[in-house]
Amino acid sequence: MVQFSGALVRIFRQDWLGARQLFLKVVDNPNAPTAVKIDSYLYLALAEDKSGGDPYSWLQKAYELNPYSKTVVQYVCMSHLSALSRMNESDRRGDKGNEQRRSLHKILDVAQPLFPPDDAWINTIKTLIGKPS
């Protein structure tokens, strides 16, 4: 818990590299609870994004630990949407964009039972990405 707490302080200080170093110690600790590891992966994704990197690999690790966490699902989905928004128009309409949308649809299909049928967030995501091709 010392590394996790220290890493949070570094996040608040915007010390992304220092936070990364401590969160890596948390996720490498076999005695750390799964919930703490998931939160650490989410913070690692934040630090990666703030450092100019791609946070997806950290989000994927959190998703692998618990694909039924609404929070994790939302972070992963937003990462896919972010990737789509950074693509140029031809890539977004082409194979790269279709791959992102298919992946997003798979995640949403698994996660649908976690959300009420009229959930505005998930319905907005589905509207934004349209039908998979």
3-class DSSP assignment, residue 1: coil
Does 114 score more than 70 pLDDT? yes
C-beta atoms surrounding 41 within 10 Å: 25
Whether the pLDDT of residue 132 is over 80: the answer is no
Q: Which comes out higher in pLDDT, residue 94 or 111?
A: 111
Q: How far apart are CA 39 and CA 21, in angstroms?
A: 15
CA distances 42 to 4, 5, 11, 19, Å, are 12, 14, 12, 12
Q: For residue 64, which amino acid is it?
A: E
pLDDT band at 15 (very low <50, low <70, confident <90, very high): very high
Q: Which residue has the tokens 């194979």?
A: 95
